[in-house]
Structure 1
Amino acid sequence: MKCPGQDTLYWKPGAIFEVACPQCGASVEFFKDDTARKCPSCQHRFVNPNLDFGCAAYCQYAEQCIGTLPEEFLLNADDLLKDRVAIEMKRYFKADFKRIGHATRVARYAERIGRVEGSNPAVVLCAAYLHDIGIVQAEKKYGSSAARYQEQEGPSVAREILEKLGAKPPLIEEVCDIVGHHHHPRDEESLNFKVLYDADRIANLEARKKKNGLVPEKIERIIAKQFLTAGGREEARKTLLG
Protein backbone atom coordinates (compact mmCIF):
# COMPACT_ATOMS: atom_id res chain seq x y z
CA MET A 1 0.00 0.00 0.00
CA LYS A 2 1.30 3.43 -0.91
CA CYS A 3 1.37 6.07 1.82
CA PRO A 4 -1.85 8.15 1.34
CA GLY A 5 0.14 11.33 1.79
CA GLN A 6 2.20 10.45 -1.28
CA ASP A 7 -0.62 9.01 -3.45
CA THR A 8 -1.92 11.54 -5.99
CA LEU A 9 -5.43 10.05 -5.68
CA TYR A 10 -5.67 11.67 -2.26
CA TRP A 11 -4.26 15.04 -3.23
CA LYS A 12 -6.30 18.18 -2.75
CA PRO A 13 -6.12 21.60 -4.44
CA GLY A 14 -2.77 23.19 -3.70
CA ALA A 15 -0.83 19.94 -4.02
CA ILE A 16 1.00 21.51 -6.98
CA PHE A 17 2.32 24.99 -6.29
CA GLU A 18 5.01 27.50 -7.18
CA VAL A 19 7.82 28.79 -4.96
CA ALA A 20 10.26 31.62 -5.56
CA CYS A 21 13.86 30.44 -5.90
CA PRO A 22 15.83 31.69 -2.87
CA GLN A 23 18.79 32.50 -5.13
CA CYS A 24 17.34 34.30 -8.14
CA GLY A 25 13.64 34.73 -7.37
CA ALA A 26 12.44 32.77 -10.40
CA SER A 27 9.27 30.73 -10.05
CA VAL A 28 9.82 26.99 -9.45
CA GLU A 29 6.96 24.49 -9.67
CA PHE A 30 6.75 21.88 -6.90
CA PHE A 31 4.58 18.83 -6.41
CA LYS A 32 3.79 18.42 -2.71
CA ASP A 33 5.85 15.20 -2.49
CA ASP A 34 8.98 16.61 -4.17
CA THR A 35 11.81 16.62 -1.64
CA ALA A 36 13.75 19.17 -3.70
CA ARG A 37 13.83 20.74 -7.15
CA LYS A 38 16.31 22.61 -9.31
CA CYS A 39 15.57 26.14 -10.40
CA PRO A 40 15.32 26.17 -14.23
CA SER A 41 16.74 29.69 -14.30
CA CYS A 42 19.87 29.55 -12.11
CA GLN A 43 20.12 25.76 -11.50
CA HIS A 44 20.07 26.22 -7.72
CA ARG A 45 18.66 23.11 -6.02
CA PHE A 46 16.61 23.70 -2.85
CA VAL A 47 14.29 21.80 -0.51
CA ASN A 48 10.53 21.90 -0.89
CA PRO A 49 9.55 24.44 1.81
CA ASN A 50 6.07 22.92 2.23
CA LEU A 51 7.06 19.28 2.63
CA ASP A 52 6.41 17.79 6.07
CA PHE A 53 9.22 15.43 7.02
CA GLY A 54 7.71 14.64 10.41
CA CYS A 55 7.01 10.95 9.68
CA ALA A 56 10.49 10.52 8.24
CA ALA A 57 11.95 11.24 11.67
CA TYR A 58 10.89 7.80 12.86
CA CYS A 59 9.83 5.70 9.83
CA GLN A 60 12.39 3.10 8.75
CA TYR A 61 11.06 3.23 5.19
CA ALA A 62 11.29 7.00 4.85
CA GLU A 63 14.02 7.00 2.23
CA GLN A 64 12.22 4.48 0.00
CA CYS A 65 8.97 6.40 0.45
CA ILE A 66 10.05 9.95 -0.35
CA GLY A 67 13.38 9.41 -2.04
CA THR A 68 16.82 10.44 -0.85
CA LEU A 69 16.32 12.65 2.16
CA PRO A 70 17.77 16.15 1.82
CA GLU A 71 20.72 17.17 3.95
CA GLU A 72 18.63 19.84 5.70
CA PHE A 73 16.33 17.13 7.02
CA LEU A 74 19.14 14.87 8.19
CA LEU A 75 20.67 17.74 10.14
CA ASN A 76 17.38 18.24 11.98
CA ALA A 77 16.44 14.59 12.57
CA ASP A 78 17.21 14.74 16.30
CA ASP A 79 15.18 17.91 16.64
CA LEU A 80 12.16 16.25 15.00
CA LEU A 81 12.51 13.32 17.41
CA LYS A 82 11.32 15.42 20.34
CA ASP A 83 7.86 15.77 18.78
CA ARG A 84 7.53 11.99 18.54
CA VAL A 85 8.72 11.62 22.12
CA ALA A 86 6.05 14.08 23.25
CA ILE A 87 3.38 11.97 21.55
CA GLU A 88 4.68 8.75 23.11
CA MET A 89 4.75 10.38 26.55
CA LYS A 90 1.08 11.34 26.17
CA ARG A 91 0.19 7.83 25.05
CA TYR A 92 2.04 6.34 28.01
CA PHE A 93 0.33 8.55 30.59
CA LYS A 94 -3.07 8.09 28.87
CA ALA A 95 -5.67 10.16 30.74
CA ASP A 96 -3.27 11.39 33.42
CA PHE A 97 -3.52 14.99 32.27
CA LYS A 98 -1.80 16.32 35.38
CA ARG A 99 1.44 14.53 34.53
CA ILE A 100 1.10 15.26 30.82
CA GLY A 101 0.65 18.93 31.65
CA HIS A 102 3.65 18.93 33.97
CA ALA A 103 5.93 17.31 31.38
CA THR A 104 4.73 19.78 28.74
CA ARG A 105 5.42 22.76 30.99
CA VAL A 106 8.88 21.44 31.85
CA ALA A 107 9.61 21.06 28.14
CA ARG A 108 8.46 24.63 27.49
CA TYR A 109 10.70 26.06 30.21
CA ALA A 110 13.60 23.82 29.19
CA GLU A 111 13.36 25.04 25.62
CA ARG A 112 13.52 28.68 26.74
CA ILE A 113 16.38 28.10 29.17
CA GLY A 114 18.27 25.94 26.69
CA ARG A 115 18.05 28.63 24.04
CA VAL A 116 19.79 31.04 26.41
CA GLU A 117 22.34 28.53 27.70
CA GLY A 118 23.17 26.86 24.38
CA SER A 119 22.30 23.30 25.40
CA ASN A 120 21.40 20.45 23.03
CA PRO A 121 17.66 20.87 22.34
CA ALA A 122 17.09 17.24 21.31
CA VAL A 123 18.58 15.86 24.54
CA VAL A 124 17.00 18.48 26.78
CA LEU A 125 13.50 18.25 25.33
CA CYS A 126 13.45 14.45 25.17
CA ALA A 127 14.58 14.39 28.80
CA ALA A 128 11.93 16.96 29.70
CA TYR A 129 9.11 14.92 28.21
CA LEU A 130 10.40 11.69 29.79
CA HIS A 131 11.83 12.86 33.12
CA ASP A 132 8.85 11.58 35.18
CA ILE A 133 8.06 8.60 32.97
CA GLY A 134 9.00 6.18 35.79
CA ILE A 135 6.09 7.28 37.99
CA VAL A 136 3.67 4.70 36.61
CA GLN A 137 5.95 1.75 37.39
CA ALA A 138 6.97 3.28 40.71
CA GLU A 139 3.37 3.43 41.86
CA LYS A 140 2.67 -0.11 40.63
CA LYS A 141 5.72 -1.63 42.32
CA TYR A 142 6.09 0.47 45.45
CA GLY A 143 2.79 2.32 45.85
CA SER A 144 4.77 5.55 45.79
CA SER A 145 5.79 8.28 43.36
CA ALA A 146 8.77 9.28 45.50
CA ALA A 147 11.71 10.71 43.60
CA ARG A 148 14.01 7.75 44.21
CA TYR A 149 11.47 5.32 42.78
CA GLN A 150 10.84 7.54 39.75
CA GLU A 151 14.56 7.68 39.09
CA GLN A 152 14.91 3.93 39.55
CA GLU A 153 12.12 2.97 37.17
CA GLY A 154 12.33 5.80 34.63
CA PRO A 155 15.41 4.94 32.55
CA SER A 156 14.15 1.56 31.31
CA VAL A 157 10.83 3.05 30.17
CA ALA A 158 12.58 6.01 28.55
CA ARG A 159 15.01 3.69 26.78
CA GLU A 160 12.18 1.57 25.39
CA ILE A 161 10.44 4.65 23.97
CA LEU A 162 13.59 6.14 22.46
CA GLU A 163 14.72 2.84 20.92
CA LYS A 164 11.25 2.35 19.45
CA LEU A 165 11.56 5.75 17.76
CA GLY A 166 15.02 4.99 16.40
CA ALA A 167 16.94 7.55 18.45
CA LYS A 168 20.73 7.49 18.22
CA PRO A 169 22.52 5.54 20.98
CA PRO A 170 24.44 8.55 22.42
CA LEU A 171 21.20 10.51 22.78
CA ILE A 172 19.47 7.54 24.40
CA GLU A 173 22.28 7.10 26.91
CA GLU A 174 22.36 10.75 27.91
CA VAL A 175 18.58 11.09 28.22
CA CYS A 176 18.34 7.91 30.31
CA ASP A 177 21.15 9.12 32.56
CA ILE A 178 19.33 12.41 33.15
CA VAL A 179 16.02 10.65 33.81
CA GLY A 180 17.76 8.35 36.28
CA HIS A 181 18.86 11.14 38.63
CA HIS A 182 16.88 14.22 37.60
CA HIS A 183 16.02 15.15 41.19
CA HIS A 184 19.58 14.70 42.48
CA PRO A 185 22.36 16.73 40.83
CA ARG A 186 25.85 15.30 41.03
CA ASP A 187 28.90 17.36 41.92
CA GLU A 188 29.71 17.70 38.22
CA GLU A 189 26.79 17.94 35.81
CA SER A 190 26.32 18.46 32.08
CA LEU A 191 24.71 21.61 30.77
CA ASN A 192 21.81 19.54 29.43
CA PHE A 193 21.12 18.16 32.91
CA LYS A 194 21.27 21.62 34.47
CA VAL A 195 18.76 23.03 31.98
CA LEU A 196 16.32 20.17 32.60
CA TYR A 197 16.77 20.44 36.37
CA ASP A 198 16.02 24.16 36.42
CA ALA A 199 12.99 23.75 34.14
CA ASP A 200 11.58 21.05 36.44
CA ARG A 201 12.17 23.26 39.47
CA ILE A 202 10.21 26.09 37.85
CA ALA A 203 7.25 23.84 37.05
CA ASN A 204 7.23 22.39 40.57
CA LEU A 205 7.50 25.80 42.22
CA GLU A 206 4.74 27.10 39.99
CA ALA A 207 2.47 24.28 41.17
CA ARG A 208 3.36 24.96 44.82
CA LYS A 209 2.66 28.65 44.39
CA LYS A 210 -0.80 27.98 42.95
CA LYS A 211 -1.68 25.40 45.62
CA ASN A 212 -0.26 26.83 48.82
CA GLY A 213 1.09 30.23 47.95
CA LEU A 214 4.75 31.20 48.14
CA VAL A 215 5.83 34.66 49.15
CA PRO A 216 8.17 36.42 46.72
CA GLU A 217 10.99 36.55 49.25
CA LYS A 218 11.00 32.77 49.65
CA ILE A 219 10.85 32.24 45.89
CA GLU A 220 13.82 34.54 45.41
CA ARG A 221 15.84 32.65 48.03
CA ILE A 222 15.09 29.34 46.31
CA ILE A 223 16.05 30.73 42.91
CA ALA A 224 19.32 32.14 44.24
CA LYS A 225 20.35 28.98 46.10
CA GLN A 226 18.95 26.02 44.19
CA PHE A 227 19.03 26.86 40.49
CA LEU A 228 21.96 25.71 38.38
CA THR A 229 21.97 28.11 35.41
CA ALA A 230 21.70 31.83 34.86
CA GLY A 231 19.08 31.18 32.18
CA GLY A 232 17.08 29.10 34.66
CA ARG A 233 17.16 31.84 37.26
CA GLU A 234 16.04 34.40 34.70
CA GLU A 235 13.18 32.20 33.49
CA ALA A 236 12.14 31.44 37.09
CA ARG A 237 11.93 35.13 37.96
CA LYS A 238 9.85 35.87 34.87
CA THR A 239 7.49 32.98 35.54
CA LEU A 240 7.20 33.12 39.32
CA LEU A 241 7.80 36.75 40.18
CA GLY A 242 6.77 38.56 37.01
Structure 2
Amino acid sequence: MKNISELISNMIVYYAGDVKRINHFLKVYSFAKAIGENERLDNIKQETLEIAAVTHDIGIKVSELKYNSSSAKYQQLEGPAIAEEMLKQLGCERKVIKRVSFLIANHHTYNNIDDIDYQILVESDFLVNIEEDKLSIESIKKIQDNIFKSKTGNLYLEQLYLA
Protein backbone atom coordinates (compact mmCIF):
# COMPACT_ATOMS: atom_id res chain seq x y z
CA MET A 1 0.00 0.00 0.00
CA LYS A 2 1.32 3.44 -0.89
CA ASN A 3 0.51 5.14 2.39
CA ILE A 4 -1.85 4.91 5.30
CA SER A 5 -3.28 8.39 4.71
CA GLU A 6 -4.96 7.20 1.52
CA LEU A 7 -6.70 4.47 3.52
CA ILE A 8 -7.69 6.95 6.22
CA SER A 9 -9.21 9.21 3.56
CA ASN A 10 -11.15 6.26 2.12
CA MET A 11 -12.43 5.35 5.59
CA ILE A 12 -13.51 8.95 6.27
CA VAL A 13 -15.50 8.88 3.01
CA TYR A 14 -16.88 5.44 3.93
CA TYR A 15 -18.10 6.77 7.31
CA ALA A 16 -19.15 10.19 5.97
CA GLY A 17 -21.14 12.05 8.61
CA ASP A 18 -20.37 9.54 11.38
CA VAL A 19 -17.90 11.58 13.42
CA LYS A 20 -18.00 9.14 16.34
CA ARG A 21 -16.84 6.18 14.23
CA ILE A 22 -14.25 8.24 12.37
CA ASN A 23 -12.78 9.55 15.63
CA HIS A 24 -12.82 6.03 17.07
CA PHE A 25 -10.71 4.48 14.33
CA LEU A 26 -8.35 7.47 14.29
CA LYS A 27 -7.73 7.08 18.03
CA VAL A 28 -7.25 3.31 17.75
CA TYR A 29 -4.87 3.89 14.83
CA SER A 30 -2.84 6.41 16.85
CA PHE A 31 -2.42 4.05 19.78
CA ALA A 32 -1.64 1.08 17.53
CA LYS A 33 0.99 3.02 15.57
CA ALA A 34 2.70 4.26 18.73
CA ILE A 35 2.56 0.93 20.57
CA GLY A 36 3.78 -1.00 17.52
CA GLU A 37 6.70 1.37 16.98
CA ASN A 38 7.65 1.32 20.67
CA GLU A 39 7.45 -2.48 20.70
CA ARG A 40 9.72 -2.49 17.62
CA LEU A 41 7.50 -4.44 15.23
CA ASP A 42 9.05 -5.29 11.89
CA ASN A 43 7.86 -3.25 8.90
CA ILE A 44 5.31 -5.79 7.62
CA LYS A 45 3.72 -6.35 11.06
CA GLN A 46 3.62 -2.58 11.67
CA GLU A 47 1.96 -1.94 8.30
CA THR A 48 -0.54 -4.74 8.90
CA LEU A 49 -1.30 -3.45 12.40
CA GLU A 50 -1.85 0.11 11.20
CA ILE A 51 -4.15 -1.00 8.36
CA ALA A 52 -6.11 -3.24 10.73
CA ALA A 53 -6.42 -0.42 13.27
CA VAL A 54 -7.94 1.90 10.67
CA THR A 55 -10.34 -0.75 9.33
CA HIS A 56 -11.07 -2.88 12.41
CA ASP A 57 -14.70 -1.71 12.76
CA ILE A 58 -15.47 -1.43 9.04
CA GLY A 59 -18.21 -4.06 9.42
CA ILE A 60 -20.33 -1.90 11.75
CA LYS A 61 -21.99 0.09 8.97
CA VAL A 62 -23.23 -3.00 7.11
CA SER A 63 -24.12 -4.76 10.38
CA GLU A 64 -26.37 -1.91 11.40
CA LEU A 65 -28.10 -1.90 8.02
CA LYS A 66 -28.36 -5.67 7.65
CA TYR A 67 -29.00 -6.77 11.27
CA ASN A 68 -29.96 -3.48 12.94
CA SER A 69 -27.06 -4.16 15.31
CA SER A 70 -23.43 -3.18 15.79
CA SER A 71 -22.80 -6.37 17.77
CA ALA A 72 -19.23 -7.67 17.74
CA LYS A 73 -20.26 -10.93 16.06
CA TYR A 74 -21.82 -9.07 13.12
CA GLN A 75 -18.86 -6.68 12.81
CA GLN A 76 -16.48 -9.62 12.69
CA LEU A 77 -18.69 -11.42 10.16
CA GLU A 78 -19.29 -8.54 7.76
CA GLY A 79 -16.05 -6.56 8.08
CA PRO A 80 -13.46 -8.68 6.26
CA ALA A 81 -15.12 -8.67 2.82
CA ILE A 82 -15.61 -4.91 2.87
CA ALA A 83 -12.02 -4.30 3.96
CA GLU A 84 -10.65 -6.74 1.37
CA GLU A 85 -12.36 -4.86 -1.44
CA MET A 86 -11.13 -1.48 -0.23
CA LEU A 87 -7.58 -2.73 0.34
CA LYS A 88 -7.41 -4.39 -3.09
CA GLN A 89 -8.43 -1.10 -4.70
CA LEU A 90 -5.64 0.63 -2.78
CA GLY A 91 -3.04 -1.87 -4.05
CA CYS A 92 -2.40 -3.62 -0.75
CA GLU A 93 -0.45 -6.89 -0.91
CA ARG A 94 -2.53 -10.08 -0.77
CA LYS A 95 -0.61 -11.39 2.27
CA VAL A 96 -1.34 -8.19 4.21
CA ILE A 97 -5.01 -8.20 3.15
CA LYS A 98 -5.35 -11.78 4.39
CA ARG A 99 -3.90 -10.94 7.81
CA VAL A 100 -5.93 -7.72 8.14
CA SER A 101 -9.09 -9.70 7.32
CA PHE A 102 -8.21 -12.20 10.04
CA LEU A 103 -7.65 -9.39 12.54
CA ILE A 104 -10.96 -7.73 11.66
CA ALA A 105 -12.75 -11.08 11.94
CA ASN A 106 -11.27 -11.68 15.41
CA HIS A 107 -10.65 -8.31 17.06
CA HIS A 108 -13.38 -8.93 19.65
CA THR A 109 -12.12 -12.46 20.37
CA TYR A 110 -9.55 -12.44 23.15
CA ASN A 111 -8.76 -16.12 23.71
CA ASN A 112 -7.22 -16.60 20.27
CA ILE A 113 -4.50 -13.92 20.16
CA ASP A 114 -1.79 -15.45 18.00
CA ASP A 115 0.76 -12.68 17.41
CA ILE A 116 1.90 -9.22 18.49
CA ASP A 117 -0.08 -7.35 15.79
CA TYR A 118 -3.31 -8.92 17.08
CA GLN A 119 -2.31 -8.19 20.71
CA ILE A 120 -1.60 -4.54 20.01
CA LEU A 121 -4.80 -4.07 17.98
CA VAL A 122 -6.86 -5.42 20.88
CA GLU A 123 -5.00 -3.27 23.41
CA SER A 124 -5.41 -0.16 21.26
CA ASP A 125 -9.14 -0.75 20.84
CA PHE A 126 -9.48 -1.20 24.62
CA LEU A 127 -7.52 2.00 25.31
CA VAL A 128 -10.14 3.88 23.31
CA ASN A 129 -13.21 1.89 24.39
CA ILE A 130 -12.41 2.31 28.09
CA GLU A 131 -12.87 6.06 27.75
CA GLU A 132 -15.74 5.93 25.25
CA ASP A 133 -17.66 3.43 27.39
CA LYS A 134 -16.74 5.15 30.70
CA LEU A 135 -15.59 1.90 32.33
CA SER A 136 -15.01 1.64 36.07
CA ILE A 137 -11.56 1.31 37.65
CA GLU A 138 -12.45 -2.28 38.63
CA SER A 139 -13.26 -3.12 35.00
CA ILE A 140 -10.06 -1.46 33.80
CA LYS A 141 -7.96 -3.49 36.25
CA LYS A 142 -9.63 -6.72 35.07
CA ILE A 143 -8.94 -5.79 31.45
CA GLN A 144 -5.33 -5.09 32.33
CA ASP A 145 -4.94 -8.43 34.10
CA ASN A 146 -6.72 -10.46 31.43
CA ILE A 147 -5.85 -8.71 28.16
CA PHE A 148 -2.85 -6.40 28.25
CA LYS A 149 0.55 -7.97 27.57
CA SER A 150 2.72 -5.40 25.79
CA LYS A 151 4.98 -3.16 27.83
CA THR A 152 3.86 -0.01 25.99
CA GLY A 153 0.15 -0.91 26.11
CA ASN A 154 0.40 -1.43 29.87
CA LEU A 155 2.26 1.87 30.27
CA TYR A 156 -0.46 3.73 28.34
CA LEU A 157 -3.25 2.03 30.29
CA GLU A 158 -1.59 2.86 33.61
CA GLN A 159 -0.92 6.50 32.68
CA LEU A 160 -4.32 7.13 31.11
CA TYR A 161 -6.62 5.41 33.57
CA LEU A 162 -4.83 4.16 36.69
CA ALA A 163 -2.40 6.95 37.57
Q: TM-score higher than 0.5 here?
A: yes
Q: Aligned partners of 1:160 and 1:186: how far apart in 2?
A: 28
Equivalenced residue count is: 160
Higher strand share: 1
1:177 partnered with 2:102:
yes
Q: Determine which of 35, 40, 50 is the counterpart of 1:125.
A: 50
Aligned counterpart, 1:230: 151
- Give the aligned partner of residue 10 of structure 2: 88
Asked if the contact 1:110–1:199 (Cα under 8 Å) also holds between the matched residues in 2, the reply is yes
Q: Which entry has the higher C-alpha Rg, 1 or 2?
A: 1
> For residue 14 of structure 2, what is the amino acid of its counterpart?
Y
Deviations 1:45-95 (A, max 9, x none): xxxxxxxxxxxxxxxxxxxxxxxxxxxxxxxxx4x4211111111110000
Query: How far is the alpha carbon of 1:238 from its aligned partner?
Result: 1.8
TM-score for the superposition, normalised by structure 1: 0.62
Relative contact order (C-alpha < 8 Å, sep 6+): which is higher? 2
TM-score by length of 2: 0.91
Structure 1 CA distance for aligned equivalents of residues 50 and 151 of structure 2: 19
Structure showing the higher helix proportion among its residues: 2
More divergent stretch after superposition (120-129 vs 227-236): 227-236
Which runs of structure 1 show a deviation greater than 4 angstroms over 4 or more consecutive aligned residues? none
Which amino acid in 2 is paired with 1:108?
S
Pick from 160, 163, 167: which aligns with 2:85?
160
Unaligned runs of 5+ in 1: 1-77
- How far did 1:229 drift? 2.2
Change (3 A) 1:188 1:202: closer
Q: What are the ranges of 5 or more consecutive residues in structure 2 without an aligned counterpart? A: none
RMSD between superposed Cα atoms in Å:
1.6
SS at match of 2:107: coil
- Residue aligned with 2:38, SS: helix
